[in-house]
């Protein structure tokens, strides 16, 4: 079935039940309140600005959006983009676009004006819904995107070059538009992270999206009693596809705008959250806040919280060991996936395999995996090679890029570009990105292994290891280390800590600095390589 039927079915069965709650914990701290019409409810559970939506209203808003777009000439196969921060309107707009038969195109809210223009052109979008945070960026390119003939603004203080989403859609029917859709129809274009240049456009069908729903529910067992806390950006497949478990089970979810440890714990407590998906930095921050005394777990009601899972990046085993110390009753799962495989779940650890923390896991629900060499032949057990996955959520193609598609898709297998190994029990361990492997004096150095080792140091909050050019050995490993707040540590201490590593794996450069991550938690290594080229390192060491 098309994914839109899940929404229609939930509206029919559970129309009066709240399905989405939006909480903006930091709204009062902002100098300029955003366009969202938050209501301050004096006795609300969170005690902050919060809005709610029922399944019935969700479906009605999606139908109004769909009927508006159809009246304006949007038809099956057209592309409509979304450029919004997480908010209560995001998902109804998303489903409204899909209900027309059009292809929804979520955009990264960190894109520059030039990147927005590039993605609109690549996806061939003819309409865009954007929010107030993007007015300046849209003003720069509005005359350079002639194919985008519908510009909808979701918010107050509408710019003159756009139309009002709220005013226009409110006047259209809340009945289903009646467009026939099938699982084979194209549904969404997601963009790759773009950490190595401009992003690629990843085309998925309704079948892909539905498979993500079934995979998520199979892995984490969502029931009608669960409530999911969604913090990461909805434009990304990670957050969306984890929420798909709530969509399939007809259960509630909370969109939290803000990532401070006390905000996360307060929301879990007051909103009775049972499932939380975190990125590594957020889990790290929560643990640091607990261990520093900044937050006290006894101040929160957390007994209903049953599952914490992490994805989007390798998970240090030391982190989960600390987590289980403070939350011994939590189920835990690691999720691995790519936007090309319709988000997380192509490989996952499994809540029953906590003893294998450090592995990304085994093939997910209805997925297969293998490790291959440069000729794409299977390697022997235990050897490092490229991870390939096959399953129901594979992308259809890179839109308008047959060469790039052929490079990664062959005979139903997606070649991920991630280097991995498989142990004797079939558990897969991520070693590193193929493009991030450091070759030093003929030896392959996998940065993730060094990063995991360094994160066990008590002073280290985060770390990234990159390769830098060296005339003698080709490349050397440089460790960029972000220290915990108000913690002192010297280069010599780090070198002593690394003494137990094999000599060739020890970082040759130690740099203390912040570690940049994108909204999905991935380390932005191209930025670090650019910042810490040879000249950058000399400048940092001389204090210039």
Euclidean distance between CA atoms 276 and 272, whole angstroms: 11
* 379-430 tens-digit pLDDT: 999 999 999 999 999 999 999 999 999 999 999 999 998 889 999 999 999 8
**pLDDT at residue 54 greater than cutoff 80:** yes
Strand partners of residue 256: 23
* pLDDT score at 6: 98
Answer whether residue 44 shows pLDDT above 50: no
CATH level 3 topology of 437-542: GMP Synthetase; Chain A, domain 3 (3.30.300)
Domain residues of the chain, as ranges? Answer: 4-258, 306-433, 437-542
- Report the DSSP pairing between strands 474-483 and 460-470: antiparallel
User: What is the CATH T-level fold of the domain 306-433, as seen in this structure?
Assistant: Luciferase; domain 3 (2.30.38)
Express as a percent the part of the chain with pLDDT over 70: 90
Q: What is the pLDDT of residue 48?
A: 45
How far is C-alpha 430 from the geometric centre of its chain's CA atoms? Answer: 18
Residues 55 and 15: beta-carbon distance below 8 Å: yes
Please report, to the nearest 10 degrees, the dihedral formed by the alpha carbons of residues 32, 33, 35, 37 taken in order.
Answer: -160
pLDDT of residue 405: 96
Assess contact for 405 and 414: CB atoms under 8 A.
Answer: no
- DSSP assignment string, 7-46: HHHHHHHHTTSEEEEEEETTGGG-SS--S---EE-TT-TT
Rounded distance between C-alpha atoms, residue 230 and residue 239, angstroms:
7
Pick the range with the lowest mean pLDDT from 19-28, 294-303, 315-324.
19-28
pLDDT tens by residue, 165-194: 999 999 999 999 999 999 999 999 999 865
pTM of the model: 0.82
Cα torsion through 144, 199, 343, 460, rounded to 10: -120
* 4-258 classified as CATH 3.40.50.300: no
pLDDT tens digit string along 474-497?
688 999 999 998 899 999 999 999
Residue 435: pLDDT above 80? Answer: no
Looking at residue 35, its pLDDT comes to: 30
Answer whether residue 195 shows pLDDT above 60. no
For the residues 202-229, what does the mean pLDDT come to?
A: 97
The Cα–Cα gap between 489 and 541 comes to 16
Q: Across the chain, what does the average pLDDT equal?
A: 88
Is 406 in a helix, a strand, or coil? helix
CA pair distance 93, 240, nearest whole angstrom: 14
Query: How far from each other are the two terminal CA atoms of the chain, in whole angstroms?
Result: 61
What 8-state DSSP symbol labels residue 359? B
Alpha-carbon distance of 256 to 277, in angstroms, equals 12
Q: What is the pLDDT of residue 532?
A: 79
- Tell me the mean pLDDT in the region 317-327: 92
Q: What is the per-residue DSSP string for 179-222?
A: ----TTSEEEEEE---TTSSPPEEEEEHHHHHHHHHHHHHHH--
């Amino acid at each position: 079935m098309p994914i839109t039927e899940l929404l229609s079915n939930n509206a029919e069965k559970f129309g009066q039940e709240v399905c989405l709650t939006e909480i903006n914990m930091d709204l009062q701290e902002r100098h300029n309140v955003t366009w969202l019409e938050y209501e301050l409810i004096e006795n609300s559970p969170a005690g902050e600005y919060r809005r709610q939506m029922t399944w019935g209203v969700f479906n009605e808003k999606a139908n109004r959006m769909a009927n508006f777009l159809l009246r304006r000439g949007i038809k099956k196969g057209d592309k409509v983009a979304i450029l919004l921060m997480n908010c209560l309107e995001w998902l109804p707009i998303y489903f409204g676009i899909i209900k027309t038969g059009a292809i929804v195109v979520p955009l990264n809210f960190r894109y520059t004006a030039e990147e927005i223009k590039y993605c609109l052109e690549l996806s061939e979008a003819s309409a865009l819904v954007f929010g107030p945070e993007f007015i300046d960026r849209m003003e720069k390119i509005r005359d350079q995107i002639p194919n985008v003939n519908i510009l909808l603004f979701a918010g107050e203080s509408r710019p003159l070059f756009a139309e009002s989403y709220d005013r226009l859609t409110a006047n259209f029917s809340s009945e289903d538009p009646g467009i026939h859709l099938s699982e084979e129809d194209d549904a969404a274009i997601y963009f790759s992270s773009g950490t190595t240049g401009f992003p690629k456009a990843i085309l998925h069908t309704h079948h892909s999206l539905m498979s993500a729903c079934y995979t998520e529910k199979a892995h984490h067992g969502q029931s009608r009693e669960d409530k999911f806390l969604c913090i990461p950006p909805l434009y990304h497949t990670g957050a969306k596809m984890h929420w798909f478990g709530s969509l399939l089970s007809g259960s509630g979810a909370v969109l939290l705008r803000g990532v401070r440890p006390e905000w996360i714990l307060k929301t879990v407590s007051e909103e009775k959250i049972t499932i939380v998906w975190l990125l590594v930095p957020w889990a790290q921050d929560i643990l640091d806040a607990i261990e520093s005394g900044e937050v006290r777990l006894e101040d929160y009601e957390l007994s209903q919280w049953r599952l914490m899972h992490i994805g989007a990046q390798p998970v240090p085993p030391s982190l989960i060991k600390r987590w289980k110390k403070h939350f011994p009753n939590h189920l835990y799962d690691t999720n691995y996936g790519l936007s090309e495989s319709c988000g997380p779940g192509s490989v996952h650890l499994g809540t029953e395999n906590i003893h294998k923390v450090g592995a990304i896991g085994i093939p997910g629900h209805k997925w297969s995996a293998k490790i291959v060499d440069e000729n794409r032949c299977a390697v022997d057990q235990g050897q490092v090679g490229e991870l390939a996955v096959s399953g129901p959520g594979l992308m259809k193609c890179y839109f308008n890029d047959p060469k790039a598609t052929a490079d990664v898709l062959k005979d139903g297998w997606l070649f991920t570009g991630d280097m991995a190994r498989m142990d004797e029990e079939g558990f897969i361990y991520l070693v590193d990105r193929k493009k991030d492997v450091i070759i030093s004096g003929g030896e392959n150095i996998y940065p993730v292994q060094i990063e995991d080792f360094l994160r066990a140091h008590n002073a280290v909050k985060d770390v990234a290891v990159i390769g830098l050019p060296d005339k003698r050995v080709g490349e050397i490993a440089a460790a960029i280390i972000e220290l915990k707040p108000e913690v002192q540590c010297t280069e010599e201490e780090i070198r002593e800590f690394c003494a137990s590593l094999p000599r060739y794996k020890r970082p040759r450069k130690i740099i203390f600095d912040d570690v940049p991550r994108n909204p999905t938690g991935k380390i932005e290594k191209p930025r670090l390589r650019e910042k810490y080229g040879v000249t950058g390192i000399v400048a940092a060491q001389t204090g210039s």
